[in-house]
């Protein structure tokens, strides 16, 4: 049984509508290590969740990257949503940036089942091992080396707009793609083009063969 690791009900709705019935949510709040990139955060989370659950896990780390703010809030999107709020992020962008206020959503899925990935060309997330080694955390480095993680990424471009729409979750009301905000789309429409949908498509093709 594959466990989809997230505390976010919105992500669960989208992922479960994409993956088949053999997937259930694991409501586990893994440690989000500080990094400028989503990959090492998701990989670290997948190792932690796998050790906790002792079952195959898929961690979903996502964020909103605003071009004119050099990617802010990016890996800090969750913290910024909880503190400033989504509408304040739009106000900030409107005050500071010229149209079209380009941005992207990015998603990294990290899969871990305790086994190596012999058939895949780049099976192990080496960043995480490098970070652990640089910290001098020898035990950590050994542990991370023993637990291969496979990453699947997806992104979608759009722009920051005044909030519109009732659907979705998080930053969806202020993210417009092709004339509609993600909050104006159905879950199926959003999955068809979104960062998460794209990462899930790559994952499910690979997972079906595994
Ligand atoms: P988990 O870590 O437990 O999965 P989370 O909501 O903290 O839950 P993230 O750190 O990946 O998950 O999310 C970063 C932020 O980006 C958070 O505020 C989400 O609401 C938001 N977010 C993620 N995916 C999104 C999407 O598809 N549409 C809108 N906002 C999204």
User: Does ligand 1 have an atom closer than 6 angstroms to the CB of 181?
Assistant: no
User: Does ligand 1 have an atom closer than 6 angstroms to the CB of 144?
Assistant: no
Label residue 118 by pLDDT band (50, 70, 90): low
Q: What is the DSSP letter of 36?
A: S
Q: What is the pLDDT of residues 33-48, one digit of tens each?
A: 888 889 999 999 999 9
Label residue 135 by pLDDT band (50, 70, 90): low
User: Does ligand 1 have an atom closer than 6 angstroms to the CB of 77?
Assistant: yes
Give the residue whose CA is nearest to atom 23 of ligand 1: 62
Q: How far apart are CA 61 and CA 50, in angstroms?
A: 15
Ligand 1 mean position, distance from CA 27 (Å): 14
Domain harbouring 38, CATH code: 3.90.950.10
21 is annotated as an active-site residue: no
Which atom of ligand 1 approaches the CA of 196 most closely?
Answer: 27
List C-alpha distances in Å: 22 to 65, 84, 183: 32, 37, 28
What is the mean pLDDT of the segment spanning 143-172? Answer: 91
**Which member of 61, 125, 128, 172 is catalytic?**
61
Q: So what's the pLDDT on residue 54?
A: 95
| DSSP-derived pairing of the beta strands 150-160 and 102-112 | antiparallel
Burial call 110-129: b when 16+ CB within 10 Å, e when fewer: bbbbeeebeeeeeebbeebb
Q: 54 — phi, psi (to 5°)?
A: 55, 35
Residues near 200 by Cβ (< 8 Å), separated by ≥ 6?
A: 14, 15, 18, 19, 109, 152, 154, 191
Label residue 117 by pLDDT band (50, 70, 90): confident
Q: In a mutational test of the pocket of ligand 1, which residue from 28, 32, 35, 63 has the highest number of ligand atoms less than 8 Å from its CB?
A: 63
**Total domains present in the chain:** 1
Q: What six digits make up the tokens of 26?
A: 């694991």
Confidence check: pLDDT of 83 > 50: yes
Q: How far apart are CA 100 and CA 44, in angstroms?
A: 35
User: Does ligand 1 have an atom closer than 6 angstroms to the CB of 170?
Assistant: yes
- Nearest residue to 104 (alpha-carbon basis) of 31, 48, 160, 22: 160
The residue behind tokens 């690979």 is 206
What is the mean pLDDT of the segment spanning 169-182? Answer: 98
Q: How far apart are CA 150 and CA 15, in angstroms?
A: 17
Owning domain of residue 94:
2-207
Confidence check: pLDDT of 124 > 50: no
Q: 142 — phi, psi (to 5°)?
A: -60, -45
Compute CA 90 distance to the chain's CA centroid, rounded to the nearest angstrom.
21
Measured between alpha carbons, how far apart are the two ends of the chain, in Å? 14
- Say which range, 4-8, 38-42, 132-136, 145-149, has the weakest mean pLDDT: 132-136
Ligand 1 mean position, distance from CA 86 (Å): 12
What is the mean pLDDT of the segment spanning 126-151? Answer: 61
**Cα–Cα–Cα angle for 181, 186, 191, nearest 5°?**
85
Confidence check: pLDDT of 64 > 70: yes
What is the mean pLDDT of the segment spanning 100-118? Answer: 92
Ligand 1 mean position, distance from CA 9 (Å): 10
User: Does ligand 1 have an atom closer than 6 angstroms to the CB of 11?
Assistant: yes
């Amino acid at each position: 049984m594959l466990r989809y690791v997230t505390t976010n009900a919105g992500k669960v709705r989208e992922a479960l509508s994409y993956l088949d019935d053999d997937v259930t949510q694991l409501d586990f709040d893994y440690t989000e290590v500080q990094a400028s990139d989503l990959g090492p955060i998701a990989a670290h989370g997948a190792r932690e969740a796998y050790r906790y659950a002792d079952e195959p896990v898929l961690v979903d780390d996502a964020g909103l990257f605003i071009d004119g703010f050099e990617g802010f809030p990016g890996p800090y999107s969750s913290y910024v949503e909880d503190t400033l709020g989504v509408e304040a992020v739009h106000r900030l962008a409107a005050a500071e940036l010229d149209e079209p206020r380009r941005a992207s959503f990015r998603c990294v899925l990290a899969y871990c089942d305790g086994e190596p990935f012999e058939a895949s060309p780049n099976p192990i997330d080496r960043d995480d091992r490098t970070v652990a080694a640089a910290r001098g955390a020898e035990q950590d480095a050994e542990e991370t080396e023993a637990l291969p993680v496979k990453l699947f990424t997806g992104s979608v471009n759009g722009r920051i707009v005044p909030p519109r729409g009732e659907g979705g979750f998080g930053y969806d009301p202020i993210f417009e793609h092709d004339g509609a905000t993600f909050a104006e789309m159905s879950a199926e429409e959003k999955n068809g083009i979104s960062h998460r949908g794209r990462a899930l498509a790559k994952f499910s093709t690979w997972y079906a063969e595994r």
